[in-house]
A and B are shown apart, each in its own frame.
Chain A
Amino acid sequence: MKSIFAVMKKEIKEAFRDRRTLIMSVLLPAVLVPAIVLGIFYFEGRTVQQQNAEGFTVAFQGSQELRSFLSQAKLEVIEVQDVEKAVLEKDADVGLIEEYTSSQSRVIVITSYASGTSGDSAASYLNSILPFYREQRIKDYLSQKGINEDVFSLVVVQSKQVGEPMAFAKFFLAYLVSLVMLTSGFVGNVYLGTDIGAGEKERGTLESLLATPVSRFSIAMGKWLALSALNCMGTLISLLSFTFSYSYAMTHFDMGLGFATGGSALAIWGTGIWAMIIGAVLLSLTGGALQFIISMYSRNMREAQLYLGQMGMVILPFIFILMPAFTNASTMPAWVFFVPIVNASAVTYNVIIGSVVWPLVGAALLIDVAVAVLLAFVISKFMNRESVILRM
């Protein structure tokens, strides 16, 4: 135990002296995760704001009635001779031409720039408000003809939402947190993973280390635990910075999804957080073991980087498999809890939607513990293979 601790201590000490490790394990999670979260919320929030109201400029040709309607909808209306030219030259976000086809009938043409996001948003906004203009014109026409405008309301279509109003917000949060956990915990710090096995071979320190009185089991365990601890640290920093940036974003950017008002409903609650932390630790152990095995098998750091860099690709299929379960906003299917790596996402999801099925969470954690023990066994056997340690 003492020698395992000695190996672990040395690996962590070395890691903290390496600028690349610090950047990957501490700085990136602390800076990049908030930047991504705040960036997503900021740009999405801005798009929603634009879609909802002000800011769009409309190049206009048409009646005074329609112009007044657009102004009431808080759009900036500019009268132009050539609507298409105004849109192409970006003098306006969108163009609108109203043409009379008879004394009462008219055609409204919306013109938007083919590859512009603000033009799409503006056109979409116009499409959503112009039915009200049409309705008003029809009512005016009916009134002129002496027909009660109530006839227009003979068939009324109403929409009603049922179910969990925060479902999408929860899916979004659960998905992002799972992604953070999987990338930090399982994939971890590639450079550190590379250094811990292949680095020893490349520096020529591995054989000296193997010739010391300490057992190979202790060397393997010490290295594995150090790698897992640093991966876990990165995960926890990521989760912490995610939580802070998410809370900030929810109170400052309204994405129109009810995040700002329903933010408190998304709070990760007490006991569940422990399940997530245990999940993150176990995920780090699994990821650390795979990183260590790959790194130790590699001839040199370049080869190890090549393999370890692909570990992210390994988890992508799992994330895609889980997507339908997330978007259905229902409880995860039970089988997911029995699949290592994937079950960390399942536990996270259940914690966030607030309906933890403890027997399934317990089963997931037990399975992960069993996998960790199995991997420890594999690692210790792996270190005894001459074909591995002499593969240079």
Chain B
Amino acid sequence: MIEVRELRKSFGQVQALKGISFHCEPGKVTGLLGPNGAGKTTTIRILSTILKPLSGIAMVNGFDVVRESDKVRASLGVVLENTGLYRRLSGDENVLYFADLADVPRDEALERMQFLYKLLEIDYGKRQAGTYSKGMAQKINLVRSVIHDPPVLILDEPTAGLDVPSTVAVRTFVEQQKEAGKTVLLSTHLMNEVELLCDYVYIINLGLIVAEGTPEELKKRTQSSSLEEAFMKVVME
């Protein structure tokens, strides 16, 4: 699970996070929504141990992101916005490189890679990644990020710019991860995706959590007919 309490982060004079708190439970998909510059990416970067918080606590799978960063990364699968692949390596090599970095035995990695390929309908793993379409690359990216079978998954805009078949494949994958009991934190701008996938939602704006609840609760509370409308009302307040 993910537990965040009073998390703060500044870049010079700019306060990116002003003390946010939230938590994500295993077997559920938690949405982190917000307009651009709200602090979503900073939060994800802190949870991925790429950045250090100014203050507050962030725990992933029971490990502190500052003091136990190695254990946090071993528990995490991360798909960040605009993540690329190594273009001169094949899809298989991209995946197995990350397996090596996670110290997954080769036999185990190959077995898991084949399982995930089947799940995501990937049959182009031998081709160089430079020849992939965006959707093909994103599927390999997903396999790569979970090759070490992490209990926690963080997805930042995983379907941005993808065509319909790829988007469906990614959403199916997320649902399967949820069914497997993984903790999934999903950041997205697509409200229909949130309604389809998320069990609980946090809306962040200007570095603060401004609303939380299930998609239905948010709509009801803001007297909105859609989640998009609810989101706009919350953010504009």
Interface residues, chain A, CB within 8 Å of chain B?
A: 2-3, 6-7, 10, 13-14, 17-18, 203-205, 207-215, 386, 389-390
Between A and B, 5 residue pairs with Cβ closer than 8 Å are A7-B101, A14-B89, A204-B83, A210-B48, A212-B73
Indicate if the CB atoms of A203 and B80 lie closer than 8 Å.
Answer: no
Task: Report B29-86 residues with CB < 8 Å from chain A CB.
Answer: 45, 48-52, 70, 73-74, 76, 78-80, 82-86
The reply to whether the CB of B163 lies closer than 8 angstroms to some CB of chain A is no
CB of B40 to closest CB in A, whole Å: 14
On whether A10 and B89 interact (CB within 8 A), knowing A207-B45, A211-B48, A213-B70, the answer reads yes
CB of A39 to closest CB in B, whole Å: 34
On whether A204 and B84 interact (CB within 8 A), knowing A212-B98, A212-B102, A213-B101, the answer reads yes
Complex Cα distance A210/B44, Å? 13
The reply to whether the CB of B145 lies closer than 8 angstroms to some CB of chain A is yes
Complex Cα distance A7/B52, Å? 24
On whether A207 and B50 interact (CB within 8 A), knowing A13-B89, A212-B73, A215-B70, the answer reads yes
Indicate if the CB atoms of B49 and A213 lie closer than 8 Å.
Answer: no
For B111, the chain A residues whose CB sits under 8 A away are none
> B101 touches which one: A17, A203, A204, A214 (CB < 8 A)?
A214
Complex Cα distance A208/B82, Å? 10
For B78, the chain A residues whose CB sits under 8 A away are 208, 211
The reply to whether the CB of B100 lies closer than 8 angstroms to some CB of chain A is yes
- Residue on B nearest A222 in the bound complex, by CB: B101
Complex Cα distance A334/B72, Å? 52
Q: What 6 A-B pairs have minimum CB-CB distances, sorted nearest first?
A: A204-B84, A203-B84, A6-B100, A211-B48, A211-B78, A213-B74
Complex Cα distance A6/B102, Å? 10
Q: What per-residue 1/0 map shows which CB atoms of B82-125 lie under 8 Å from chain A? A: 11111111000100011011110000000000000000000000
Complex Cα distance A208/B141, Å? 9
Indicate if the CB atoms of A208 and B148 lie closer than 8 Å.
Answer: no
CB of B64 to closest CB in A, whole Å: 16
For B89, the chain A residues whose CB sits under 8 A away are 10, 13-14, 17
> B103 touches which one: A3, A204, A209 (CB < 8 A)?
A3
Indicate if the CB atoms of A386 and B51 lie closer than 8 Å.
Answer: yes
Indicate if the CB atoms of B97 and A10 lie closer than 8 Å.
Answer: yes
> A207 touches which one: B80, B93, B102 (CB < 8 A)?
B80
Complex Cα distance A12/B133, Å? 25
Indicate if the CB atoms of A14 and B70 lie closer than 8 Å.
Answer: no
Indicate if the CB atoms of B86 and A205 lie closer than 8 Å.
Answer: yes
Centre residue among A10, A211, A390 by max chain B CB count within 10 A: A211
Indicate if the CB atoms of B86 and A14 lie closer than 8 Å.
Answer: yes
> A208 touches which one: B70, B93, B145 (CB < 8 A)?
B145
Q: Give the size range of B's interface with the partner.
A: 20 to 34
CB of B143 to closest CB in A, whole Å: 13
CB of A216 to closest CB in B, whole Å: 9
- Residue on A nearest B150 in the bound complex, by CB: A213
Complex Cα distance A129/B146, Å? 84
Indicate if the CB atoms of A207 and B83 lie closer than 8 Å.
Answer: yes
Interface residues, chain B, CB within 8 Å of chain A?
A: 45, 48-52, 70, 73-74, 76, 78-80, 82-89, 93, 97-98, 100-103, 141, 144-145, 148
For A386, the chain B residues whose CB sits under 8 A away are 51-52
CB of A200 to closest CB in B, whole Å: 9
Indicate if the CB atoms of A2 and B48 lie closer than 8 Å.
Answer: no
Complex Cα distance A215/B48, Å? 12
Complex Cα distance A390/B83, Å? 14
Complex Cα distance A10/B86, Å? 10
Indicate if the CB atoms of B86 and A210 lie closer than 8 Å.
Answer: no
For A209, the chain B residues whose CB sits under 8 A away are 101
CB of A383 to closest CB in B, whole Å: 11
For A208, the chain B residues whose CB sits under 8 A away are 78-80, 83, 141, 144-145
Indicate if the CB atoms of B101 and A14 lie closer than 8 Å.
Answer: no
CB of A151 to closest CB in B, whole Å: 84
For B148, the chain A residues whose CB sits under 8 A away are 213
For A3, the chain B residues whose CB sits under 8 A away are 100-101, 103
For A214, the chain B residues whose CB sits under 8 A away are 73, 101-102
CB of B137 to closest CB in A, whole Å: 10
Complex Cα distance A209/B45, Å? 12
Complex Cα distance A386/B70, Å? 17
Complex Cα distance A112/B159, Å? 77
Indicate if the CB atoms of B50 and A211 lie closer than 8 Å.
Answer: yes
Indicate if the CB atoms of A389 and B98 lie closer than 8 Å.
Answer: no
Indicate if the CB atoms of A210 and B70 lie closer than 8 Å.
Answer: no
For B97, the chain A residues whose CB sits under 8 A away are 6, 10
CB of A309 to closest CB in B, whole Å: 22
CB of B154 to closest CB in A, whole Å: 8
Indicate if the CB atoms of A17 and B103 lie closer than 8 Å.
Answer: no
Indicate if the CB atoms of B103 and A2 lie closer than 8 Å.
Answer: yes
- Residue on B nearest A14 in the bound complex, by CB: B88
CB of A38 to closest CB in B, whole Å: 34
For A207, the chain B residues whose CB sits under 8 A away are 45, 48, 50, 80, 83
Complex Cα distance A10/B99, Å? 12
CB of A221 to closest CB in B, whole Å: 13
CB of A208 to closest CB in B, whole Å: 5
Complex Cα distance A297/B83, Å? 19
Indicate if the CB atoms of B101 and A6 lie closer than 8 Å.
Answer: yes
For B52, the chain A residues whose CB sits under 8 A away are 386
Complex Cα distance A262/B79, Å? 65
Complex Cα distance A353/B200, Å? 77
Indicate if the CB atoms of A211 and B84 lie closer than 8 Å.
Answer: no
- Residue on A nearest B145 in the bound complex, by CB: A208
- Residue on A nearest B98 in the bound complex, by CB: A212
> A211 touches which one: B80, B88, B93 (CB < 8 A)?
B80
- Residue on A nearest B51 in the bound complex, by CB: A386
Complex Cα distance A386/B83, Å? 18
CB of A222 to closest CB in B, whole Å: 10
